[in-house]
Amino acid sequence: MDFSNTIHEALEISVEQFQKDEVILTMPVGPKTRQPMGLLHGGASVVLAESAASMGTLLNINQEKEVPVGIEINANHLRAKKDGIVKAIATPIHKGRTTMVWDIKIVDENNELISICRCTIAILKKK
């Protein structure tokens, strides 16, 4: 997957695992992803989570005729993170014809839970 000139490139998000029932993305915690108080920005975590859900949906649809689009995301930030790496682990809760719902856990290098998210992805017909 080409991340050139996208938010993924800007935030240095990379793919660790890319399968129909589990997508794992990683992102460094540093100047690009911190808020002014020096902690991982919740918005950066949400970008990571929605990206993992969207990529998982992409693997489960007909990519020639359909496209995944995020329509809802909920995030609970449970632990602060100042540096290091975070990992989003996305697994499907529901795989429907027109929507998919994903559970995403964001953990750090010690497998400590940083955030939990739920994301709904719409499956739209390409025009």
Q: Rounded to an integer, what distance in angstroms lies between the CA atom of residue 25 and that of residue 95?
A: 20
* Active site residue ranges: 50
User: b/e string for 9-34 if b means 16 or more Cβ within 10 A?
Assistant: eebebeeeeeeeeebbbbbebeeebb
Cβ atoms of 25 and 14 closer than 8 Å: yes
3-state SS, residue 63: coil
